[in-house]
Structure formats: structure tokens, C-alpha cells
A and B are shown apart, each in its own frame.
Chain A
Amino acid sequence: MRRYALAGLLLGLFVLAWQGVASLNAVDDLTLASPVETMRALRDDWSLLMDNAGVTLVEVLLGLAISIAAGAGSAVAMHIWRPLREAAYPLLVASQAIPIVVLAPIFVLAFDYGMGPKLAIVALICFFPITVNVLDGLRSVEPELLKLMRSLGASRLQSLVKVELPSALPFFFSGLRIAATVSVIGAVFGEWAGADEGLGRLVLLGNNQLQTPRVYAGIVILTVMAVALFALAGLAERLVCPWNRKEAPSA
């Protein structure tokens, strides 16, 4: 509880400073909207913002789902077959180096407008942290434990299912937390390349049309979305991996 109180205090100070700078007119209205104006835009444009936020949220969730399936699957495959890992890992890393800004329009042309390109971009951004973390988790199993499984007569599949995959779960959730926060960015980039709906599009158009308070309101909602996803991932971890609590052991 105290942790949240401190964070809340810091947030409050930030908002005050923001309002202060805006009131001082150090930066003009159309570049910096004050918290008050942002709140007003949130209220006035609420249904517009929420409708578009819903579209973006769907893109994010579906994209995350794809990246989880593909990421975990690839990690397991790369773990089991070493040649695959050696071949694919560098490509995996390289895939992250390509600027999304460049890929987004290409995806749009490849997949046609609509959900396709946005899902592809979200999946591409989120795939990497999940794959790398699951792979690390699978490889983190102590050799002693694998030796024990062998001595117990376990098959490769049994070792994988009973020991390696559960070991990798906490790592998976680490990756998921990262993926959750960047997924929103991916959806926004996807929308910027061509979309008829979505909060990213609304923010972009708002910026071009000098509707600055609406832009800020949109950004606030996108931020809240990312933070909420992050928290959900953390919650999921606590539910699925209750043994991983890093509490001080009772003597």
C-alpha cells in the first residue's frame, strides 16, 4: 500500500508541475495542453475516445495473443532443436532492429487495411521479449535436475512438460510484462500507417489538426492502457506461479 502511496505522490507532483509549466505560458497552447484542458477534452470527447480506444485495445490483445503463441512455441522449438536455435536466433535479434516505422506501411500493403497489419506489427514487437525470455527460462533448468529426471526414467517429453516448462513460466511472465507495455506502441504505429479507426489514428490526426487537448487525452488513455496491461500480466504471474514469491523464508 505504501508503495502505491509514494507512486501516487510522485504522479501528483508531476501533474502539478505540468499544470505549472502550462500556466506559465512558457510553451504555447497548441504544443502543450494543461492537465485541466486535457481533463476537459477527456470529458467532452469521452465516447469518441472510448470507441477508438476499444478498437486499439482489440488490436493489442489479439496481437499479444498471437505473439504469445508464436513466441512460446518458437522458444520451445528452438530449445529442443539446437540447429534451429543457431539458425533462427540471429534472425530473431535482427527482426527487432528493423524500424517499425518502415515496416508498418509495408505490412499495410501486404495485408490490406483492416486489422491485419496492426496485428502483425503488435505481434512483431511483442514476439521478441517473449521468445527470448521463455528460451532463457527453458535453459535455466539446473543440469542436476535434468540428470535426476533421467535417473527417474523420464522421457524427453516428460522432462519438458514436468520440469522445463514450469521452470520457464516465471521467465515467460517477465517477457509478457515487457511485451504488454510495448504492445500499445505497436498498435499505434500500425494505425499510423493507415487506419480508419483507433486511438493512435485519433492522436495523429488530432496532432495534425492542432486539436492538442484531444491529443493529450488520447495519450493519457494509451498510457493507462499500457500500465493496465502491465499490471494484468503481473497479476497473472502471481496467480499462475504462486511458488515464485520472493518472500523471506521463515526460519
Chain B
Amino acid sequence: MRTQAEAPEREPLSVDGTGVALTGVERGYRGRRREVVALSGLDLQVRAGDVVAVVGPSGCGKSTLLELAAGLQEPDEGAVVAMGTSDAAGRRTACAYMPQRDLLLPWRDSLGNAALALECQGVRNSEARRRAAPLFDRFGLADFEHARPADLSGGMRQRVAFMRALLPGRPVLLLDEPFGALDSITRASMQAWLAEALTEEPRTVLLVTHDVQEALFLSDRVAVLSPRPGRVVAELEVTLPRPRSRRAVVTDPEFGRLERLALEALGA
């Protein structure tokens, strides 16, 4: 287990053209009464294939960070690069963005919702549905292809949203508190499921969460954000190989140490 001080030098991302990098990012917006600076001097790099978790207090700009990476916003200053391209449209194509809420379309069934992303890329509806169908088994949703979102539980809806995000096969996955709305039992099983899924199909992942344990369970590195204006105040390497068992996270003393470090950084 190595801490940050002992981490090897990383290759600058612009050279190999994969992964996500935010450099010196400033982003503000007009709030109710004044200018609000969400992020200031933010530096964060995600190597290809890495899972990086971002934790921070609420309102620290975590969602803004993701939207910048996703190409839905542009930084006021600094640069955002994803898969070698800094152009917003290019970032949108490279990243699969999963917002906090599943936002499934209530008038479509699960299959139709899962196929939505493909349709937006120009794939014909029937073809998109055909491609989405095999995933249902893998995601544990067999026989629910024709169910409407209203008939699904929270966890099931989240899995459909995952399918939607994953189907186009984009290399970068941006997850905004994907399990935040779920109860703890469902959350635990979903985390285990995601860990498995990422092992089977590795992606470059930037995961925003308020749950430090979740971050330690799923990611290779945890970045701690300061309160607004947000910037990275600590980065913790998590070197236990993935996928990890829940028991390991709970009992391994290294995890405890990292958790204490993270909480300290958050409290600071």
C-alpha cells in the first residue's frame, strides 16, 4: 500500500491521448445574489482504465466537475481534456455521463430507455433495441424488458440507466452519485455489481460520491475536494486489487487508515 508521497510519476496525459485531465480549471456561475465560484485551481487527472472517486462536502462543485468533463460546460479558465480532445462536442462523444437521477422516460419501457443513447447516435429504433436486449440478462433484469419505469424499483431503474450509459461503448464513464438515492442494502449490492461490471469491462471512470467507504471500495484513487471554491486537497492511492470484497474494506486496517486520512482532509 503506497501513499501519495510514494506514488510514481504519472505520464502527462496529453501525450498518450487517453483518460481525462482537468488542469487549472476555474468555473463560476451567477447565483441568486452574487457570483459563485464553484471550482478554482482544480487539477485532476484520470489515467485510461483507472477508476477515480471524487469525494467532497456538498456544494463543493463535484457535479460541475463532472459536467465539465462531460462537455456540458466549458471552464472559465484552464483546460479540460478527454480522450485527447478538448473540444466540448468531442468530450460529449467520448464520455458517457450518468446524472444523479436515472431520468428514465416514463413512456418508454426498459428496453426503449436502455436503447435511447444508441438512438440518439442515429441507430434505428429496432436495431437499438436489438442491441440492448442481451444486456438485460447480464444486468440481472431479464424479463423486465417491457416493464415501465414506474414498475421498477430504484435499483432496477439505476441499472437501466447504466445500460443506457454503457451501450454506446464510450471509453469514459462519468458517474454522479449513482447510488445516492438508494437505500443502504440496495446500495451495497449495486456497488458490488458495479465493481464486477468494471472488472469485466474496464473503462476510465470518474465517480463522484459523498460516501468515503464507497469511494474506497470502488476506486483506484480517491481525490478529496475542498469546500467551495473546490480544488483537490488530497489524493489517496488505493492499491488493493479490484474487485474488492466488502469484508476486506471493512476489516483491512489500511482501509481504515485511508478513511481516516480522507475524513481528515474533508474536515480540514
A positions within 8 Å CB-CB of B: 142, 144-145, 147-155, 158, 162-163, 166, 169, 241, 243-244, 249-250
Contacts and interface: CB of A to CB of B under 8 A. Distances in A.
Given A162-B119, A243-B148, A151 B72 contact: yes
B105 A166 contact: yes
Interface string B231-245: 000000000000000
A214 to B, nearest CB: 48
A184 to B, nearest CB: 31
Contact of B99 (A148, A244, A250): A148
B155 to A, nearest CB: 14
B106 A243 contact: yes
Nearest to A163: B105
Interface in B84-105: 92-93, 95-97, 99, 101, 103, 105
A241 B95 contact: no
B197 interface: no
A162 B104 CA distance: 12
Contacts of B119: 158, 162
**Which range contains the number of B residues in contact with the other chain?**
20 to 34
Contacts of A148: 97, 99, 103
Given A151-B70, A151-B72, A144 B101 contact: yes
A149 B120 CA distance: 8
A142 B103 contact: yes
Contacts of B103: 142, 144-145, 148
B107 A153 contact: no
The 6 closest A-B pairs by CB, nearest first: A154-B120, A151-B97, A152-B120, A243-B106, A152-B117, A243-B107
B107 A241 contact: yes
A147 B148 CA distance: 22
B150 interface: yes
Contacts of B120: 149, 152-155, 158, 162
Given A144-B99, A158-B120, A150 B72 contact: yes
Interface string B62-85: 000001001110000000000000
B184 interface: no
Contact of B92 (A150, A155, A166): A150
Interface in B26-43: none
A147 B107 contact: no
B107 A152 contact: no
Contact of A249 (B99, B116, B150): B150
Given A154-B120, A162-B116, A243-B148, 18 more contacts: A147-B67, A147-B72, A148-B97, A151-B70, A151-B92, A151-B97, A152-B117, A152-B164, A153-B117, A153-B120, A153-B121, A155-B120, A158-B120, A162-B105, A162-B120, A169-B107, A243-B106, A250-B151
Contact of B95 (A151, A158, A244): A151
A220 B71 CA distance: 62
Nearest to A169: B107
